[in-house]
Amino acid sequence: MKKTTKMVSPLVLAVGAAMLSSSALAQAPRSGLNLHAPDAPGPMQKKSELLPGEPPVPAPGSYGYDAKTGKFKSPDATPDAYGAHPVEGSLPYLDQNQYLKNVKVENFSPYVAGAGHSWQASFDLNGRRYLYDYETWMYNLFDITNPRDVKVVQQKTFNTKGGEHQFGPFNVKYNKKLDKMIAVQCYEISRYGLVQNKYTNPDDVKKARERKMLRGFRIYEVTSPQWTDWKLLSETSLDPYHSAQDQPQQGSGCQDVPAYDGGQYLFVAGAPDDTFANTEYKTYLYAGAQLAFDVSDPSHPKRLSTWWAPGSRLGEEEEYKKNPRAGNKTSWMGARMPLFIPKPVEQGGKYGYAAMGGFGFYVIDISNPANMHAVAHIDMPVSVTGTEGDNIDVSKVDSTGMVYYSGYPMSEDCYEPLKAIYSIDVRDPLHPKIVNTLPTPTPPKDAPFTDFCQRRGSFGPKRSGYAQIQPGTPSPRYMPYSYYNAGMQIFDVKDPLNPTIAAYFVPKMIDADRKTTDGQTLSIRALPNPVHSIFVEWDRNLVWVFSNHGIYTLSTSVLGNPVMGMPPKK
């Protein structure tokens, strides 16, 4: 990696003309549950210097809250900037109110695996249902057979800083042919904390390249609810030049939750080697591709094919430079997650849909996994900073002909372009087209703010959960999403041309008295992502909401009556 030495004007990234001092923010009134609400953080004061090509700080008056209309105007573009960015009209405290519509809280469990991010997975075993909530350094395992009486089965912490191998995102499915429960678990080099800025810190880049770890996936036989009891069947490196036992391996490793349905084929995302490097993002070195494996023998996975967006690899710079994001030092380019597949290949499925970050939306023919290839592509609108292409909900393809594509915000206080959920018509998969966007959530009238951008933290969609892991058959009409400071929002897409919001649950921003397992007060850094994940049990009509202070179990009238025991067997 060539070191960049030339800098341009030093700027205070988090303090613009639209922002206020902490003392000015403190004048806003408090009432009700917010009388003793904790203070929200003031503007980030850290000075940073922009690298050549980075988006400039937005001009004064070009964005912010308009008191006359009660609306927030998002900036057109911003540099990647960590920390709070309050403006005139931002709340000076962390809202302690809870808002809901067509939703009932069935249970609350005060457990947090990751205050700002976590994954989930569930499976049934011996007549019980289990739920994992986890991050790379720890997990909580629950028995959720009775969702109103959640029981802790196991909690485990990994000393990743001390060299213990991280815990990876995984998928558990019953393999009918083998008559076994099979789990596939991914391992990826860290996206944050390992490399501070690849353009200015070549030593960090060198350490990342030399880091010894499995950059790939493991396959287990699930023999009990507890991960520590599972039987390891195989380890596979995504790097075609190094086995799982060779160190160091090249590439990113296996990104996010693998796409596995319990059959013959496994689909994962990741950069197989160091040539997959054309990405702008400062803390990450790789542009992820899509890979297919034959896992009919879980002890000996076979690599079938690799597909990547043109421009992803070293040597493809001419293609890469055609992208308007090239050179901005900010955009994530390439996959963050594996293919989104509405119907498994083994059941006649032909297409997978790829969210490739700044490279856009692709339709991939997977009918022959040994020859994956793109059949259609959409260049999505530029929305920098923030993640531009991360999640695709494919659960409504049969009912509406649409898939729903989104990125998610990475900045606080709406200091970036508003992130939308795009409805893409794929009835003709060779000619997909953007139809509209889902409605932007708005606060209820009794909230002490008129725009969610005032509530602090991040505002925008995260994900609709992991369709291949969530049990049961998704509703053909309703689509829940985690939405950060707007909580959980359920969209009604019965009429895809006129989508609406049918239900929502918006918890308090943070629990001021929440203590971590070591007795410390929960860090204010949990603030940006108050609701960062959801998990839907379609077979029990329950939505699990994972917040920075615990887990809410919800029922909703739009999905139907909840099932409070094990669902009926089909």
Mean pLDDT of 29-45: 89
Taking alpha carbons only, the member of 549, 427, 413 closest to residue 78 is: 413
What is the pLDDT confidence band of residue 497, given thresholds at 50, 70 and 90?
very high
Is residue 434 over pLDDT 60? yes
**With contact defined as beta carbons under 8 Å apart, do 409 and 416 qualify?**
yes
CA distance 364 to 347: 17
- The helix (H) or strand (E) run that includes residue 22 is helix 22-25
Mean pLDDT of 101-127: 95
Q: Which position has the token pair 């077979």? A: 539
Q: Does residue 31 or residue 520 have the better pLDDT?
A: 31
* Tens-digit pLDDT profile for residues 435-451: 999 999 999 999 999 99
Domain spans, the chain: 99-559
Is residue 518 over pLDDT 80? no
**With contact defined as beta carbons under 8 Å apart, do 550 and 111 qualify?**
yes
Is residue 101 over pLDDT 50? yes
CA distance 76 to 414: 11
Question: Who's near 69: CB < 8 A, 6+ residues apart?
Answer: none
Assign domain 99-559 to its CATH architecture: 7 Propeller (2.130)
Phi, psi (5° rounding) for residue 169? -65, 140
Taking alpha carbons only, the member of 513, 418, 413 closest to residue 458 is: 413
* Tens-digit pLDDT profile for residues 449-487: 999 999 999 999 999 988 778 999 999 999 999 999 999
Cα angle value 155/161/165 (rounded, 5°): 65
Taking alpha carbons only, the member of 370, 372, 334, 335 closest to residue 351 is: 372
Is residue 13 over pLDDT 80? no
Is residue 282 over pLDDT 80? yes
If you ran DSSP here, which 8-state letter would residue 484 be given? B
The tokens of 249 are what? 């391996």
* Tens-digit pLDDT profile for residues 387-401: 999 999 999 999 999
Q: What is the pLDDT of residue 179?
A: 97
**For all residues of the chain together, what is the average pLDDT?**
92
Q: What is the pLDDT of residue 293?
A: 98
Q: What is the pLDDT of residue 28?
A: 63
What is the pLDDT confidence band of residue 44, given thresholds at 50, 70 and 90?
confident
Q: What is the pLDDT of residue 375?
A: 98
Model-wide pTM > 0.85: yes
Q: What is the pLDDT of residue 22?
A: 45
What is the pLDDT confidence band of residue 221, given thresholds at 50, 70 and 90?
very high
The burial of 517, by beta-carbon neighbours within 10 Å (0-12 exposed, 13-18 middle, 19 or more buried), is given as exposed
Is residue 100 over pLDDT 80? yes
Is residue 285 over pLDDT 50? yes
Is residue 512 over pLDDT 90? no
Mean pLDDT of 291-300: 98
Is residue 2 over pLDDT 50? no
Q: What is the pLDDT of residue 9?
A: 33
Question: Who's near 381: CB < 8 A, 6+ residues apart?
Answer: none
Q: What is the pLDDT of residue 525?
A: 56
If you ran DSSP here, which 8-state letter would residue 566 be given? P
